[in-house]
A and B are shown apart, each in its own frame.
Chain A
Amino acid sequence: MQIKENPKEYDVIIVGSGAGGGMATKVLSEAGLSVAIVEAGPYYDPANPDQMTQMKWPYDSPRRGAGTTRPFGDFDQAYGGWDIEGEPYSQVGDTQFRWFISRMLGGRTKHWGRISLRFGPDDFRKKSIDGLGEDWPISYDDIKPYYDKVDKLIGVFGSKENLPNDPDGFFLPPPKPRLHELFYIKGARKSNVKVMPSRLSILTKRINNDRGVCFYCNQCARSCMSYADFSSGSCLIFPAQKSGGQIDMFVNAMVRTVTTNEEGKATGVSYIDKTDKTEHKLKGKVVVLAASACSSARILLNSKSKQHPNGLGNSSDIVGKYLHDSTGGGRMAFIPDLMDRKIYNEDGVGGMHVYSPWWLDNKKLNFPRGYHIEVWGGMGAPSYGTGFNVNDFNKFFGIPVGGYGDVLRKDMRKYYGSLVGMDGRGESIAMKSNYCEIDPNQVDEFGVPTLRFNYKWSEHEVNQAKHMQDTFEEVIHNMGATALGNKADKSSNFGLTKPGEIIHEVGTTRMGNDPKSSVVNEFEQLHDVSNVFVVDAGPFVSQADKNPTWTIMALAWRSSDYIIEQFKKQNF
């Protein structure tokens, strides 16, 4: 097969354009380094009318926005999902890991919930606290200056709360709570559950003239045409291009391997142009992997050579191990007080205005790690599914369910906006026995060996999920609402989501000081190969009860500063 080789040698090749890749692109290009971004999906700009889904109406789609082609519906801005045609993955035995991939410029930063939480001091030293998992080789003080810089560069609203393990930052002011959120506040307080303004990377206030200010359409998951929410393209890559960075972008380019030389050093990457399935090579002095925790592990494991027979950076046999996702659980409720409510525009920002950080002491509980609670509800935009089982709530009042005719209109109006939900998102324990590896029997449509997963929750996560359900039930009761459906019990692991479903998977190239038990050092540099870095969530030692994006970016910035320093010292 003919391989087309690009004659240019880049200072840095960055694989993937999500949170980590975007941040590396910005910091490294602005330091004057020449950068190639290699992205497996197409170019995407939320301001491009041909790609834009923001401000569409359900009837602009022939399926009214149903989730047939995109898992979160037609208007969600992720080109991908848990099951992508041509890109299979498999499981060991009866384990079930669900792998969500978004193939586009910006990756998964296009459609996410913008929940932007710093890890706290305890989150870096959990083993010292409860004996489980491993401590990070860095502390909160090491990463704090970078969190501060990320806050100011990207913008995050929140409030100063002086909590020990949910550190404050440089916040924009949060929006006022919506009506259902006031009900939640009431219920949570009565249940002794801490509740406070949420922390989302959405601009409630201007931070510069390149980005707009939120206009409260509730559609961050569609990616903002005004760049008023964080996504990697809008906030990192486009500004880096605008400020004159030497950036070449390769899209629809699926990286197969990191190439190496006789000394075992990386020389660049090989990739497949997905548009014509041709093979290409790019040369670079440094390779930065930011393809997502599992994709980067896959590239490393597929990069076998004489010098690296077990895959690149895998002399420890740790690549792919310690894979862990957030736990998830949820409950819906119906608020009778909100029947026939007055209708006004309460779209607000794309996500919750209030939330509950972890509020208890695990020493007094039968599970080691915490969770936070997200709240949803309100008079949202109709979309496919609106009006299904329109008057099921009639059963609470002993009146007939179902029927036909004008009574359905009354029921539709009566129950609109009376639903509220809570979702718990918690920390799981990183375990060596939960991993991804190369499936020896399968390749994707480009001929690249695929991943096989082995993942089982432990008692820790199941006990935590049970606690979530008990909490939801109590809060629902205390907010004057009626819980819907049956309470999840032991038979369903207390409603615990399948691993991968929360899309916070981390840990596959974990960092540490010991090359025998970790893949990268504190600067996300492979122990085995000094010119390869991993700046996605792979290096996370533990997950925390916080969403990973803010930490991915703070670490990617810190590692990029280190790369610049090494370039200055002529170490590459």
Chain B
Amino acid sequence: MDRRDSIKSIMLGSIGFGVLFEGCVTGISSEDVKKTISKFQYGRTDKELAYDKKLFSIQCFSKKEMKSITQLCNLILPPNEFGSIEDAEVPELIEFMAKDIPGYEIPIKDGLLMLDKISKQKNSMVFINCNEIEQKKILDQMAFPDPNMSSSEQKEEVKWFSLMRNLTMTGYYTSKVGIEELGYVGNTPNVWDGVPQDVLDQYGLSYDQDWINKCIDQSKRNETAVWDDQGNLIS
């Protein structure tokens, strides 16, 4: 395993295919499943395709729950000139991940109930019926983890909100609009020829001449490599 034990694999781990969904309903038409599945083309195997189909054929959150999730995500990341939570299909991702990662479903549903309970106590109505000021007052109580405690020691509502914030952020910044907003400009054929000079200057860094002498001369990248007997490149 190389460089890949990154944050995301630490957070995820591997989960098998044989998952049960207790709170989810089936009954989504095969036409709809087909339409959704065709949006995603990513070189999956037949087995993975069958698994995706299975997940798309069940609905985890009710319409009411989806409405709360959408509202909440919009408060976490309000729309701007690049796009919105809806453009980034964040609620759809949360619906999918709640089926894909079995540990997510129950906590997310319980958290939504808790959110409405807190809201009813404070404002005598469920969260989505509150106005923005009232909603933000509720969120202020759960959006700031105690810096002196570990994540597992935080209050339940804080833990839940952190999960929703994480899903919202990752959903947005892995979407087309979110990637554009972030400014990531890779994933495209190019020729890497070192850190731009103005960036080197900004950090007071420079390349060593003897290091750079060893590096590829990109003007010769298409000339077929030829070596002498000692392994010196002569083309």
Interface size class of A (residues with CB under 8 A): 35 or more
Flag whether B131 is at the interface (Cβ < 8 A): no
Q: How far is the CA of A388 from the CA of B179 in the complex (A)?
A: 15
Most chain A beta-carbon contacts within 10 A, residue among B56, B165, B176, B225: B225
CB contacts (< 8 Å) of B166 on chain A: these are: 387-389
What 1/0 mask marks residues of chain A from 395 to 408 whose CB sits below 8 Å from any chain B CB? 10000111111101
CB contacts (< 8 Å) of A219 on chain B: these are: 187
Q: In the complex, what residue of chain B is closest to A411 when comparing beta carbons?
A: B169
Flag whether B75 is at the interface (Cβ < 8 A): yes
Flag whether A343 is at the interface (Cβ < 8 A): yes
Contact between B225 and A207 (Cβ–Cβ < 8 Å)?
A: yes
Q: In the complex, what residue of chain B is closest to A104 when comparing beta carbons?
A: B45
Q: How far is the CA of A172 from the CA of B1 in the complex (A)?
A: 24
Q: How far is the CB of A337 from chain B (nearest CB, A)?
A: 6
A356-414 interface with B by 8 A CB criterion: 374, 376, 379-390, 395, 400-406, 408-409, 412-413
Contact between B170 and A387 (Cβ–Cβ < 8 Å)?
A: yes
Flag whether A4 is at the interface (Cβ < 8 A): no
* Residues of B within 8 A of A (CB-CB), count: 99
What 1/0 mask marks residues of chain B from 6 to 36 whose CB sits below 8 Å from any chain A CB? 1111011111111000000000000000001
* A71-B14, A382-B173, A387-B173 known; A175 vs B97 contact (CB < 8 Å): no
Q: How far is the CB of B215 from chain A (nearest CB, A)?
A: 5
Contact between B190 and A347 (Cβ–Cβ < 8 Å)?
A: yes
Among candidates B172, B215, B220, residue contacting A387 with C-beta atoms closer than 8 Å: B172
Contact between A408 and B89 (Cβ–Cβ < 8 Å)?
A: no
CB contacts (< 8 Å) of B4 on chain A: these are: 72, 76, 221
Flag whether A94 is at the interface (Cβ < 8 A): no
Query: Which listed segment binds A: B57-65, B108-116, B122-130, B191-199?
Result: B191-199
* A113-B2, A208-B224 known; A157 vs B216 contact (CB < 8 Å): yes
CB contacts (< 8 Å) of B191 on chain A: these are: 215-216
Q: How far is the CA of A348 from the CA of B193 in the complex (A)?
A: 9
Flag whether A227 is at the interface (Cβ < 8 A): no
Q: 9 tightest CB-CB pairs across the interface, nearest first?
A: A385-B8, A387-B169, A113-B2, A176-B194, A58-B174, A215-B189, A173-B216, A347-B186, A376-B3
Query: Which residues of B are interface residues toward A (Cβ below 8 A)?
Result: 1-9, 11-18, 36, 40-45, 48, 51-52, 55-56, 75-78, 80, 89, 93, 96-97, 100-101, 139, 143-145, 147, 158, 161-162, 165-166, 169-176, 178-179, 181-196, 198-200, 202-203, 205, 207, 211-212, 214-217, 220-225, 227, 231-233
Q: Please give 13 more A-B residue pairs, beta carbons under 8 A apart, in addition to A61-B40, A332-B7.
A: A63-B93, A64-B171, A66-B101, A82-B14, A173-B233, A176-B215, A337-B203, A342-B198, A344-B196, A387-B166, A405-B75, A408-B169, A409-B181
